[in-house]
Chain A
Amino acid sequence: MATLAQTSSNLLLAAFFLYFLATVFFAVSITGGRFKNKEGDEKNRTGTYGYISSVLAFVSAIGYFVTRWIAAGHAPVSNMFEYTTFLGIMMGLGFVIIYPIYKSRVLGLFTMPIVMLIIAYASVFPTEIQPLIPALQTGWLQIHVITTALGQGILAVGFAAGLVYLIRVTDFKAKSKKVTALELVLFGLLCFVGHVLLNMGFGAAGYEKEFNYTNEYGEQAQMEYQLPAIIGPNEAELASETGSNPLLLAPDFIVADDLNAVIWAFIAGTALYWLLRLVLRKPIGGALQPLVKGVNPQSADELSYRAIAIGFPIFTLGGLIFAMIWAQIAWTRFWGWDPKEVWALITFLFYAAYLHLRLSRGWHGEKSAWLCVIGFAIIMFNLIFVNLVIAGLHSYAM
């Protein structure tokens, strides 16, 4: 069994590198010169190779999923690592579905790194196979989570297309609110990169500090920090032999180590952002713009809309309807205003508003693209913040 779990991790690693390979292929196919054969026909096949890589990556990722399922005895969608990884895989699948329709290599260049980022982010969480508590032991949970992740993955492709659109049409030469906002989005993505790098770095160095603290029930408890403590838990005392005390202490209702990680992510993101700006000597969006100059804005706009239109019904089915069926069986009621449920409803309402604005009020182009970005932010907020910070019934899904 242990070896099967090992195989599973290896397959995920393979998938990660295949996504990387796909990114490289798409990058080459866009930036590289045009390869023409003797007859003068375009022979630039790298885009196709990129797509093939992304398909192979998906196959390998499904291999991870299936082997881990067999090893664990339950579908690997029951904690943060498993769910977030699966969301990344589903975004990859969304791309695999949508690419043949629009053949947009730029979409590949933007989607693949985001998929990699989501999978890398997932691996910061504990990756061990965990036993499943009774409330999670049902086929409906698996159906609910798998469908939701597929829906969110496709919606995330819509975000990637929206981002492509915005980078394509924004004028980076002059300072404007649009530039600032777009840079903020890219900064947000860099925070995730920073978070992953920091955790990998401190993890490799074996950093670990333990604090004794008083939890929200007024009981003594221990908390382990994988990063140096800027914010410590409520009434914290250092239990490890070495290490410094935190600068500040959090109130008891806040999960302090997560808040600490968020602060570190912002610090690392800021550092990365300014480093890149120094190197590039222009806004990052401006540096990316040459990559997307060959994109027809209207196609990017329609593509992002198609992704949302395809993803929305799937998300609704998984995130609301199947979720209600599961809640009815596991928790005796189909709806209970748990924060996670509320945020699934908010996601639904948001995309419903998007569709109405787009279809009948003519919100195309930039406005529509911004909505795609905000929608993705809501999905990530629900995944990360609501799971980790706002404790609810779903918080065992850590």
Chain B
Amino acid sequence: MKKVICECGHENPYGTELCESCGKPLKDQGKGLVNMRYEGAARRSQTYSRTIVDKIWNFFSSVKVGVWIIVLTLIASSLGTVFPQEMFIPPGERASVYYQQEYGTAGQLFYQLGFHNLYSSWWYMLLVAGLATSLIIASIDRFFPLYRALKNQRVTRHPGFMKRQRLYHTERAGEDAHDRLKKAGDALREKRYRVREENGNLLAEKGRFSRWGPYVNHIGLIIFLIGATLRLFPEMYLDDHIWVREGQTVEVKGTGGEYSVRNEEFLIEFYDDEDERFINNPQQASAVAKTYQTTVTLFQQTSETIGSGVEPDEVEQFPIRVNNPLTFDGFSLYQVDFKLNELSEFTFAVEPEEGTDDELYSETIDVNLYDPETVYEMDNGFTVEILEYFPNYVFENNEPGTLNRIPDNPRFIVEITPPGEEEGEMSMVGIQVNNPLSEESDYRLRMVDFDTNHVSALAVRRDRTIPILIAGGIIFMIGLVQGAYWHHRRIWIQERDGELLLAGHANKNWNALKKDFSWLSEKTGLPEPADQAEKEETDGTRDEGVKSNHGDAGSDKQ
């Protein structure tokens, strides 16, 4: 494409509206304020629209499209909160019936539209992907032209540029104009402006770096979104949990056997009703948990010793609490759930079916409910053999069975063999159950004691995307602050053909620029420029809204 050569001699890229160097309006010679958005630089999206690539590029580079995507994402997100997401419905409930049951027809519709898993739906993902695409394309489309324009800008500006700035003033230059210009330069330096002078013209500029803020924060957002997407790969993100009983050692899932933890003690603490801080509180303080804590010992085995029977090394002991996870080697263990007083051990004695025999009771066996032995030999000569063990007994389809391996309702089928006998007697024992199964039975097991344990659930997490997310978050915040708390302002002062011209532009916060001008006026006696946008407004020529060209002058997106 051919370059546009300005009368000042600068070669501008095709599509440029204001000369990069002197600011002369190249396209429209009209009246009104000049459009300072992106310094009037040539943006790809505003220049080409022939090929399909151009069209896609133009679509995503449009802020209008970007805002639409933001608004659609916003509305979609809010729809998902009308009823709970599937992950929040009570465990064990089936989504297909739950929504209708709980919320009626609206609930049914919510479910059928797939809103119960809205945030992982393909179309929500598509919206987020659209947002990311828009972020990337819109940023590239604007950053490079803007960078060029700000880099190439000259001190001496075309009068057409000066006149059509929002803050502008002109008057006959007095004898002392040259002096005043010099004084102005010094004064503005004092205000921390970067001042450049050229043939009696002056450009004072401050806070240009704030113009890069939006691009920096967009880069941060994109990095963040990339990090969030990487979580979909199993290598990057592990989400599992383990139940550990007190005294038990359990392998940490996902570590390939390298790490294991032993639950030393689970502790639950409540607030004290006597605590004087809460005395006026109608709710009982003792009903509120203060601490959930699992004290664990972490063990590590090197890959050579796994499975070789070598004792693992103790790494550390750590109290895992809510808000205080144990972190090691990229893994984190969180306190997430617990179960108090789970049965752990039964103590049995053998007693005769009829009558009592105190002596027998002194001989007992302890049966571990997690891992019972097959045969127990008692010192008094009895042998107890465990034939069947149902940790969580159910009777289904005319057969005894177990729901799972958790000893919530333990039942045993045992065979008791008295001393010297060959044949034993079978019976079924459990909590408040003692049924003989043999035809003849002289002895039975009697439960004399039991023991319980607390069980703690620990979430196992490894999230390798966290550093990426942190980096994205930090870059995003830096960009946001950079763009929001600093403002790019420029002041042009010219002495040309016996005339003094003053103009000013701020990308936002005109208030501060005007204050700088009035300060300058106090210091040097230079006149204060008028706000041409305000003048237009009082003249009634300015229309609030998108279509207004004039409004754009003050709405220069950096």
A: residues with CB less than 8 A from B are: 1-2, 5, 71-73, 101-102, 126, 128-131, 133-135, 137-138, 140, 216-217, 251-253, 297-299, 302, 305-306, 309-310, 312-313, 316-317, 321, 324, 328-330, 332-334, 336-339, 342-343, 345-346, 349-350, 352-353, 356-367, 386, 390-392
Cα of A5 to Cα of B281 in the assembled complex, Å: 12
Q: Which residue in chain A gives the minimum CB-CB distance to B510?
A: A302
Contact B485 A130 (CB under 8 A): no
Q: Which residue in chain B gives the minimum CB-CB distance to A365?
A: B544
The answer to whether B370 has its CB under 8 Å from any CB of chain A is no
Using A346-B78, A367-B545 as known contacts, list a sample of 6 further A-B pairs with CB atoms less than 8 Å apart, ordered by residue number in A: A102-B511, A128-B278, A337-B85, A338-B88, A362-B552, A363-B545
Contact B469 A334 (CB under 8 A): yes
**Chain A contacts of B275 at CB under 8 A?**
131
Given the interface pairs A134-B321, A362-B552, A390-B81, the reply to whether A128 lies near B282 with Cβ below 8 Å is: yes
Given the interface pairs A337-B85, A361-B63, the reply to whether A134 lies near B103 with Cβ below 8 Å is: no
Contact B321 A71 (CB under 8 A): no
Q: List 22 A-B contacts (CB under 8 A).
A: A2-B280, A128-B280, A129-B278, A134-B321, A137-B322, A216-B102, A298-B534, A306-B511, A328-B466, A329-B324, A330-B322, A337-B85, A342-B80, A356-B66, A356-B70, A357-B67, A359-B556, A361-B67, A363-B555, A365-B544, A367-B544, A392-B84
| CB proximity to A under 8 Å, residues B453-477 | 459, 461, 466, 469, 473, 477
Give the distance to chain B from A353, nearest Cβ to Cβ, in Å: 5
Given the interface pairs A135-B323, A367-B545, the reply to whether A129 lies near B280 with Cβ below 8 Å is: yes
- With most chain A CB atoms within 10 A of its CB, the pick from B74, B334, B511 is B74
**Chain A contacts of B276 at CB under 8 A?**
1-2
Contact B288 A133 (CB under 8 A): yes
Give the distance to chain B from A104, nearest Cβ to Cβ, in Å: 11
- With most chain B CB atoms within 10 A of its CB, the pick from A1, A128, A349, A365 is A349
Which 10 pairs from chain A and chain B are nearest by CB? A360-B557, A134-B322, A359-B557, A365-B544, A362-B555, A339-B81, A138-B323, A131-B271, A362-B551, A128-B281
**Chain A contacts of B77 at CB under 8 A?**
342, 345-346, 349
Cα of A306 to Cα of B508 in the assembled complex, Å: 9
Given the interface pairs A310-B484, A332-B459, A337-B87, the reply to whether A2 lies near B546 with Cβ below 8 Å is: no
Cα of A345 to Cα of B228 in the assembled complex, Å: 15
**Chain B contacts of A336 at CB under 8 A?**
87
Flag B83-106 by CB within 8 Å of A: 1 or 0 each: 011011010000000000011000
Instruction: Select which of B278, B484, B545, B555 is within 8 A of A358 by beta carbon.
Output: B555
The answer to whether B266 has its CB under 8 Å from any CB of chain A is no
The answer to whether B225 has its CB under 8 Å from any CB of chain A is no
Report the contact-size class of chain B (Cβ under 8 Å from the partner): 35 or more
Q: Which residue in chain A gives the minimum CB-CB distance to B66?
A: A356
Contact B277 A363 (CB under 8 A): no
**Chain A contacts of B71 at CB under 8 A?**
349, 353
Given the interface pairs A101-B511, A329-B323, A346-B77, the reply to whether A321 lies near B102 with Cβ below 8 Å is: no
Q: Which residue in chain A gives the minimum CB-CB distance to B480?
A: A313
The answer to whether B8 has its CB under 8 Å from any CB of chain A is no
Contact B285 A131 (CB under 8 A): yes
Contact B477 A321 (CB under 8 A): yes
- With most chain A CB atoms within 10 A of its CB, the pick from B64, B285, B480 is B480
| Chain A binding surface, main DSSP class | helix
- With most chain A CB atoms within 10 A of its CB, the pick from B37, B80, B546 is B546
List the count of A-B residue pairs having beta carbons below 8 Å apart. Answer: 170
Instruction: Select which of B73, B280, B485, B557 is within 8 A of A349 by beta carbon.
Output: B73
Cα of A305 to Cα of B77 in the assembled complex, Å: 25
Given the interface pairs A253-B102, A332-B336, A357-B67, the reply to whether A362 lies near B548 with Cβ below 8 Å is: yes
Contact A134 B81 (CB under 8 A): no
Cα of A102 to Cα of B515 in the assembled complex, Å: 11
**Chain A contacts of B81 at CB under 8 A?**
339, 342-343, 386, 390
Instruction: Select which of A137, A363, A390 is within 8 A of B546 by beta carbon.
Output: A363
Looking at the complex, which of B19-27, B245-253, B289-297 is the stretch in contact with chain A? B289-297
Instruction: Select which of A140, A332, A353, A364 is within 8 A of B70 by beta carbon.
Output: A353
**Chain A contacts of B119 at CB under 8 A?**
337
**Chain A contacts of B281 at CB under 8 A?**
128-131
Q: Which residue in chain B gives the minimum CB-CB distance to A101?
A: B511
Instruction: Select which of A309, A337, A361, A366 is within 8 A of B555 by beta carbon.
Output: A361
**Chain B contacts of A317 at CB under 8 A?**
477
The answer to whether B537 has its CB under 8 Å from any CB of chain A is yes
**Chain B contacts of A360 at CB under 8 A?**
37, 63, 555, 557
The answer to whether B554 has its CB under 8 Å from any CB of chain A is yes
Cα of A129 to Cα of B88 in the assembled complex, Å: 29
The answer to whether B279 has its CB under 8 Å from any CB of chain A is yes
Q: Which residue in chain B gives the minimum CB-CB distance to A392?
A: B88
Give the distance to chain B from A257, nearest Cβ to Cβ, in Å: 15
The answer to whether B325 has its CB under 8 Å from any CB of chain A is yes
The answer to whether B380 has its CB under 8 Å from any CB of chain A is no
**Chain A contacts of B277 at CB under 8 A?**
1, 5, 71-73, 129, 131
Instruction: Select which of B67, B466, B485, B558 is within 8 A of A313 by beta carbon.
Output: B485
Give the distance to chain B from A298, nearest Cβ to Cβ, in Å: 6
Give the distance to chain A from B13, nearest Cβ to Cβ, in Å: 21
Cα of A288 to Cα of B85 in the assembled complex, Å: 44
**Chain B contacts of A313 at CB under 8 A?**
477, 480-481, 484-485
Q: Which residue in chain A gives the minimum CB-CB distance to B482?
A: A313
**Chain B contacts of A302 at CB under 8 A?**
509-511
Contact A135 B322 (CB under 8 A): yes
Instruction: Select which of A138, A252, A356 is within 8 A of B67 by beta carbon.
Output: A356
Contact A366 B544 (CB under 8 A): yes
Q: Which residue in chain B gives the minimum CB-CB distance to A368?
A: B544
Cα of A345 to Cα of B509 in the assembled complex, Å: 27
Give the distance to chain A from B481, nearest Cβ to Cβ, in Å: 5
**Chain A contacts of B283 at CB under 8 A?**
130
| CB proximity to A under 8 Å, residues B511-558 | 511, 533-534, 537, 544-546, 548, 551-552, 554-558
Give the distance to chain B from A352, nearest Cβ to Cβ, in Å: 6
**Chain B contacts of A343 at CB under 8 A?**
78, 81
Give the distance to chain B from A287, nearest Cβ to Cβ, in Å: 24
**Chain A contacts of B285 at CB under 8 A?**
131
**Chain B contacts of A306 at CB under 8 A?**
509, 511
Instruction: Select which of B63, B461, B548 is within 8 A of A332 by beta carbon.
Output: B461
Instruction: Select which of A134, A337, A342, A346 is within 8 A of B290 by beta carbon.
Output: A134
Contact B545 A362 (CB under 8 A): yes
Contact B555 A137 (CB under 8 A): no
